[in-house]
Amino acid sequence: MQKHSYWQGLALFASFLPFACDATEANGHYYLKAGLGGSWPSGTAEAYANSASDSSSVLFPASPNTNSYPLDQAGGDNYHIAAGLSFADDWRLETGYLSERGRLRGGSAAEPINVELAQHALSVSLWRDFSLMSPRFHPYVGAGLGGLQSRLAGASHQQWTLFTGAGVGLALTPQWQLDMSYQYTIGEDAQLKTAETRFTIPQDGGRWQMGLRYHFAPTTEPSIRDRDGDGIADEDDRCPETLRGAVVDIYGCADSDGDGIIDSLDRCPNTPAENEVDSNGCMDSDNDGVKNSADQCPNSAPGERVLRNGCAARQSVGLESIRFGLGETELNADAKVRLSEVSAVMLASPQYRLAVQGHSDDSGDADANYRLSRARARAVGKALVGLGVAAERIEIQAFGANMPVADNSTSAGRALNRRVSLRVIRPK
């Protein structure tokens, strides 16, 4: 092999270094490869005398029936270097240089032939990687085009060749891969002519190669487990059992009806859009027919009849916004607003009656407290009648200081006890 052939390969190798060294992107496109290999010619090389009638040829004695001699073309050893660009995850574009040396043997016992055949090739190829068994194991197939130069005893021949092949890459580390491949080359026979002899050397044949690839960024990533196939790794997936095909959020959870409650926790998965729901994804938590947004008693017993506000006859509606000063019976502004809401419920539920219950603290004697609590209840009843509730649907009740809801020994407790509460009366 001539000295400048080495420089050809080295020049090609070095020409890709600037590109490879710039490959700092996270996807790491560039790689370098180097290795060794061997070849198996599929045809038989032959040697011909330049003139069949030239009896001076020591290789071919003059004979009317013999003008060629088969040669044994021993498989050659080669080394190769290459630089490549991986793209679109599974494709690689590669350019390489290969140098191979073999021997041609034959001739007669008196004049044996034993000459070195040197071949040098530049190639461009395209490869497709597959991940069939493991993220660290990558079979691949591909094809390419090469320019081949053959040299023998001072003669040379240049030609184009085509090749196809397959191989496998095995990731040893995130950057290093062991590369093993087999290629089959197709090309016209090389014709080399010396002063006395013309050689015909077939170029069809197989070639194996083994080497190392260095990628300038990791070629493999840890295997990501995603059992529900939603694109969110199980270790980050808050809903690892999402149904296939469901649209998920960044946490891997689906909310089919868009109510803000993920499907796995949604007891009412088909809620119409833009409705207020509870923590279970339901508009009506107690299934009493009243939406949560309007239900003042959201925990009614199953099957219990309720008013339009979601409260059953057994449930008391406390008017805690009504506060009375010591000895007073007048309603404040907050109480009037609340009574307006209560009247709307009663007008929408005409089958129910309402008990208006007055209370007091224990500041005075029992009779005075009773009269004061009754006066407060009548003030509330009168206000409800004024809001449209029929008087016969209202029952005035007074309890004095007998039903405290707070400690009468403190001023704050006594203020809470000066109140009026409402209780729905079930229809007869």
The conformation of residue 195, written as its DSSP 8-state character, comes to S
67 or 319, which is more confident: 67
Give bridge partners of residue 181 from the DSSP assignment: 167, 209
3-state DSSP assignment of residue 350: coil
Task: Kindly report, residue by residue over 42-53, the tens digit of the pLDDT.
Answer: 778 887 776 544
Task: Kindly report, residue by residue over 216-249, the tens digit of the pLDDT.
Answer: 875 555 556 777 777 777 777 777 777 776 777 7
Q: How many other CB atoms are there within 10 angstroms of residue 329's CB atom?
A: 19
3-state DSSP assignment of residue 189: coil
The conformation of residue 243, written as its DSSP 8-state character, comes to P
| Fold that domain 315-428 belongs to in CATH | 60s Ribosomal Protein L30; Chain: A; (3.30.1330)
Q: Residue ranges per domain, the chain?
A: 3-215, 226-283, 315-428
Q: What share of the chain is helix, strand, coil (3-state, %, to 5)?
A: 15, 40, 45
Q: How far is CA 7 from CA 17, 78, 189, 424, in A?
A: 15, 16, 26, 103
Which class for 38: exposed (0-12), middle (13-18), buried (19 or more C-beta within 10 A)? middle
Q: Is the pLDDT of residue 128 over 90?
A: yes
Q: Is the pLDDT of residue 11 over 90?
A: no
How far is Cα 402 from Cα 395, in angstroms, rounded to an integer? 19
What are φ and ψ of residue 173, in 5° steps? Answer: -140, 175
Q: Is the pLDDT of residue 14 over 70?
A: no
Q: How many other CB atoms are there within 10 angstroms of residue 21's CB atom?
A: 10
* Averaged pLDDT, 395-400: 90
Architecture of domain 3-215: Beta Barrel (2.40)
389 or 266, which is more confident: 389
| CA neighbor of 384 nearest in space, from 348, 417, 424, 336 | 336
Lowest-pLDDT choice from 127-141, 238-252, 332-346, 389-403 = 238-252
Q: Kindly report whether the global pTM for this prediction surpasses the value 0.85.
A: no
pLDDT given at position 308: 62
- % of the chain at pLDDT higher than 70: 67
Q: Answer yes or no: are the C-beta atoms of 356 and 389 closer than 8 Å.
A: no
Q: Answer yes or no: are the C-beta atoms of 153 and 2 closer than 8 Å.
A: no
E-strand spans in 360-407? 394-398
Most confident of 112-126, 278-292, 293-307: 112-126
Q: Is the pLDDT of residue 305 over 50?
A: yes
pLDDT given at position 270: 67
Give bridge partners of residue 420 from the DSSP assignment: 319, 358
Q: Which residues contact 359 (CB under 8 A, 6 or more apart)?
A: 373, 376, 399, 400, 401, 403, 404, 405, 417, 418, 419, 420, 421
Task: Kindly report, residue by residue over 409-418, the tens digit of the pLDDT.
Answer: 998 899 888 8
The conformation of residue 300, written as its DSSP 8-state character, comes to P
pLDDT given at position 255: 64
pLDDT given at position 181: 95
pLDDT given at position 388: 94
